[in-house]
Amino acid sequence: MPMLKEPWKKYKPFKSGEEKWRYFKMLCELGYKEIEVSFPSASQTDYDFTRRLIETPGAVPDDVFLQVLSPCRPDLIQRTVDSVRGAKNAIIHIYLATSACFRQVVFGYTEEQTLELAVECTKLVRSLTKDDPSTSGTNWQFEFSPETFSDTDPDYVVRVCQAVKAAWGPNGEAGDQIILNLPATVELATPNVYADLVESFCNNIGDRNDVCISLHPHNDRGCGIAAAELAQMAGADRVEGCLFGFVSVFILKAHGRLLTTNSNGERTGNVDLVTLALNLYTQGVSPNIDFSNLNAVIDMVESCTKIPVHQRAPYGGSLVCAAFSGSHQDAIKKGFQNRKRLGLTSQDPWNDPWNGMPYLPLDPQDIGRNYEAIIRVNSQSGKGGIAFILQAKLHLDLPRGLQVAFSKVVQRRTEEVGRELLAHEITNLFKTTYFLHKNPYFSLLDYNITPDRSASPMLAPGQTQDTKSLIRIFDGVILVNGEEVKLRGRGNGPLSSMVAALKEVGVDLDIHDYKEHAIGEGGNVKAASYIECKHTHSNQIVWGVGIHEDVVQSSLIALLSAASSFVTSRPTSPILKPTTNTIVQDKPKFISILEEKANGM
Ligand SMILES: CC(=O)SCCNC(=O)CCNC(=O)[C@H](O)C(C)(C)COP(=O)(O)OP(=O)(O)OC[C@H]1O[C@@H](n2cnc3c(N)ncnc32)[C@H](O)[C@@H]1OP(=O)(O)O
Ligand SMILES: CC(C)C(=O)C(=O)O
C-alpha cells in the first residue's frame, strides 16, 4: 500500500449513521453484550443514532446493554441519560480525570474538588435513572472511570471510587454491580506496573463482590494486550477495547459482555479486542465471541474507518496465516500430515484445540482462513511448501526426490521473476515442467502390451511360478516431435518393455525409482505415477510424471515425461540417433531437427 502523504485526511469517524448501524449489528452478531454506542452530548448525530437504536423494534437484542459516555458535567449528563430513555438495558458511563497532572493542568481542581464533582455527578445519574420511577422499565447500570487512573496516586483513586460507589448506593438485582473502570488513559509504564496498580485497587476497594472492575488499556507503548492480560490475572473482571484497536471502544467482560463507543482516534488506539479474544481461544478458553469469519469483520472495519488492518496485525493481518520460509513450510506440511497419525488431534476442540501443529498458533480455518493461503512460495521457500501446494491443489503426493528436483525449478523461476509465485503459477509450472498439459517430444498415441510367447519363461534361481518374470512386448505408436513413430521393445513388464523400445530412438534410460498413488475415489479415480530415471551413459537423473485413469497408461506417460525431461535438459545432445535394429522405417523429422541442434546448425 503506498504511503499516504497526509494519512490523517483519510481517517474519518463513521461516515454515516448507516455505517455505524451496520457496525452495531455486526458487534451483536459477534456476541458482544455491552456496546458503547455513543457520546450523545457531543453531537445531534450521536444522539439521534442512540434514539434510532432504541426506537427501532428488534434493533437491540434483549441481552445487549447500550452504553453511553459523558464527562462529569451536569448538562451533558442530563442529555446523555435522555438519549437512552426507553432502552431495555443501559449503562451510563461518566468519567473524570483524577491524576495530579490533569487536576492541576486541565481543571485547576484540588483532590477534594475532584472527588466532590465525581460524587455529585454520580448522584445526578442516580436521580435521573434508578431513583426515577418513570424510568423503571430500563435496567440501569452505572460506570465510573477515574480517567488517568494509571497516573493517579493509588490511595487517592481508591478513595474517589469508594465515594462514587457509596453515592450510587446499593446494588439492585443480582449482577448489576457498579462498574469501576480503570483507564491507562495514556500507557505510561510497562504492563506489569498497570497490573500491580489494578491488583492494589482490587485489594483495597472493599466489598469486592459488589464491584465489577473493568480495564481500559491504551497502546501508546505497544503493550495494550499485555497490560489487559496481566491486569485480568491481577483480578479485573472486564475489558474495554476496540476491534483491531481502533474504530470503537468495546467492552469485553470475562463471559463475553462487551461495549463500544464511536471514538475513532485515540492515538495508537485502545486495546485490540480481536487479539484479546483469540489469545483466550488459543489457550482453550472460549471468548464467547465468534471470529469464525474474521475476513468479514476486517472488511467491515476497513470500510467503516478507512483505516487498513495491518498485514502483520495479530490474527487478522493478511500475512499472519502465511509462511514463506522453507523450514516453516516444511514443518507445517509435516504437521498437517502427521498430527492425525500421531494421535495429536482431538474430537473435542476445547480439550485440544490445535495440538501438534508447528508454527501455527491456531487452525486458520477457525477464523475463516484457507489452508491454501498458508504456504506462500518465494525464493526463501523449500521443497516442503511447494509439495504442500501441489498436494492441496492437484492432490499429488510427490516422492521426496521429485520434491527436491522440482523445488530447484521453482527456485530458478522465483529468482527470474523476482517475486512470490502464486499457487496457480506453481501448479502450472509443474504441469509444464513434467509435460502434463502437453508433451511435444513424446506423446503416447496407442499401445499394446502382449506376452512374448516365443520362448517358455525360464525360472531363475529362487523364483516360483508366481514370481517368475514373464516377458512382455510393448508395441506402440508415439508422436515424437509431431511425427508418428512405431516402436517395439521387450521387457519383463510394461515399463521395462517401453524402456527397451525407447532405446530404439536413442533414449537410453534406466528406471531408478517408481511410485504411484490414486487421486480421488470412486468412478473418477485416476492414477498418478512418478518415475525417476538415470541416463545410462551420462548418469543424469530426470523425473517424469503421468496422470491417467488407467494405471499402466499413467506409468507409460510418466516414462515419456522423463524421456522428455531428458531431452529438454540437454537440448544440444545428439540423443535421439536411431540404432540399427530400430523398427522405425524412415528417419523421423524430429531426429533430424535434434541432430541439427546438436550440430549447432
Ligand atoms: C477520555 C476520553 O477520551 S473520553 C472520549 C472523549 N471524547 C470526546 O471528547 C468527544 C466528544 N466531545 C465533545 O464533543 C466536546 O468536547 C464536548 C461536547 C464534550 C464538550 O464541548 P465544549 O463544552 O465545547 O468543551 P471543550 O471540548 O472545548 O473542552 C472540554 C471542557 O470540558 C472539561 N472536561 C473535560 N473532561 C471533563 C470531564 N471528564 N468531566 C468534566 N469536565 C471535563 C474541560 O476542562 C473543558 O472545560 P472548560 O470549557 O471549562 O475549559
Ligand atoms: C473515558 C475513559 C474511559 C477513556 O476513554 C480513557 O481514559 O481513555
Q: What ipTM was reported for this prediction?
A: 0.97
**CA–CA distance, 593 with 601 (Å, rounded to integer):** 9
Q: Is 261 in the pocket of ligand 2 (CB under 6 A)?
A: no
* Alpha-helix runs per DSSP H in 260-382: 273-282, 294-305, 326-341
pLDDT of residue 325: 81
- Contacts of residue 197, defined as CB under 8 A and 6 or more positions apart, other chains included, come to 149, 150, 154, 182
Q: Which residues, other chains included, contact 373 with Cβ-Cβ below 8 Å and sequence gap of 6+?
A: 321, 322, 364
Predicted confidence at residue 212, as pLDDT, reads 95
Contact 92, 142 (CB under 8 A): yes
Positions in the chain short of pLDDT 70: 1-16, 173-175, 246-266, 346-353, 371-372, 455-460, 463-469, 570-601
Give the pLDDT of residue 361.
86
Measured CA to CA, the distance from residue 438 to residue 196 in angstroms comes to 69
Residue 90: how many CA atoms within 13 Å on its side-chain side?
A: 29
**CB-based contact 54:66 (threshold 8 Å):** yes
In angstroms, rounded to a whole number, what is the distance separating the alpha carbons of residues 173 and 358?
48
pLDDT at 575: 41
Cα 212 to ligand 1 centre (Å): 26
CA 292 to chain centroid: 11
Based on its alpha-carbon atoms, the radius of gyration of the chain, rounded to whole angstroms, reads 36
The CA distance from 303 to 19, in Å, is 9
pLDDT one-digit tens code per residue, 547-601: 999 999 999 999 999 999 888 776 554 444 333 333 333 334 444 444 444 444 3
Within a 10 A sphere around the Cβ of 337, how many other Cβ atoms?
A: 13
Give the model's pLDDT for residue 191. 98
How many Å lie between the centroid of ligand 1 and the Cα of residue 301?
A: 27
Confirm or reject: Cβ of 336 under 6 Å from ligand 1. no
243 in Cβ contact with 213 (< 8 Å): no
Q: CA 521 to CA 525: how far, in whole Å?
A: 5
With b for 16 or more beta-carbon neighbours within 10 A and e for fewer, the 492-518 pattern comes to ebbbbbbbbbbbbbbbbbebeebbeee
For ligand 2, say whether the CB of 95 is within 6 Å of any of its atoms.
yes
- CATH among 3.60.15.10, 3.10.450.50, 3.30.160.270, 3.40.50.300 for 442-455+469-598: 3.30.160.270
Give me the amino acid identity at 95. Answer: Y
| Beta strands per DSSP E along 437-482 | 442-451, 472-480
Compute CA 46 distance to the chain's CA centroid, rounded to the nearest angstrom: 35
Q: Do domains 11-305 and 442-455+469-598 have the same CATH topology?
A: no
pLDDT value at residue 343: 77
- Mutation test of ligand 2: which of 76, 101, 144, 145 has the most ligand atoms closer than 8 Å to its C-beta? 145
Question: Which is it for strands 34-38 and 509-519: parallel, antiparallel or unpaired?
Answer: unpaired
Q: Looking at the CA of 41, name the nearest ligand.
A: 1
* Nearest alpha carbon to residue 281 among 269, 270, 294: 294
**Of 517, 514, 515, nearest in space to 395 by CA:** 517
Residue-by-residue DSSP string for 412-428:
HHHHHHTSPBPHHHHHH
Choosing from 101, 144, 216 the residue with most ligand 2 atoms within 8 A of its CB, the one to mutate for a pocket test is 216
Q: Which residue has the cell 503459477?
A: 425
State CA 456 to chain mean position distance. 64
Q: What is the pLDDT of residue 268?
A: 77
Rounded Cα distance between 63 and 66, Å, is 10
Q: Quote the CA–CA distance of 86 and 162 in Å, as a whole number.
A: 30
> Which of 163-170's residues contact partners 24+ apart within 8 Å by CB, and which partners?
163/115, 163/118, 163/119, 164/118, 164/119, 164/122, 165/205, 165/207, 165/210, 165/211, 166/119, 167/119, 167/122, 167/123, 167/126, 168/122, 168/125, 168/126, 168/142, 168/144, 169/126, 169/130
Q: Is the CB of 145 under 6 A from ligand 2?
A: yes
CA distance linking residue 107 with residue 344, whole number of Å: 60
Relative orientation angle of helices 17-30 and 44-55, to the nearest 10 degrees: 50
Question: Could you say which of 3.30.1360.120, 3.20.20.70, 3.30.300.160, 3.30.565.10 is the CATH number of the domain covering 11-305?
Answer: 3.20.20.70
Cell of 276: 484479546
Cα of 221 from ligand 1 centre, angstroms? 25
Q: Is the CB of 147 under 6 A from ligand 1?
A: yes
List the residue whose alpha carbon is closest to atom 7 of ligand 2: 185
Q: How far is CA 488 from CA 447, 468, 504, 536, in A?
A: 9, 22, 8, 19
DSSP strands (E only) in 464-562 = 472-480, 483-491, 509-519, 526-535, 541-548
Does residue 41's CB lie within 6 angstroms of at least one atom of ligand 1? yes
Check: CB of residue 272 under 8 Å from CB of residue 259.
Answer: no
Distance of CA 29 from the midpoint of ligand 2 (Å): 25
User: What is residue 81's predicted lDDT score, i.e. its pLDDT?
Assistant: 98
Nearest to residue 105, comparing CAs of 64, 75, 148, 41? 148
Domain edges within the chain: 11-305, 326-433, 442-455+469-598
- Per-residue pLDDT, 175: 63
Q: Give the per-residue pLDDT at 456.
A: 63
Find out whether the beta carbon of 219 lies less than 6 Å from any atom of ligand 2.
no
Query: What ligand 1 atom has the least distance to the C-alpha of 107?
Result: 45
The answer to pTM > 0.80 is no
* Dihedral sign, Cα of residue 376, residue 382, residue 384, residue 389: positive
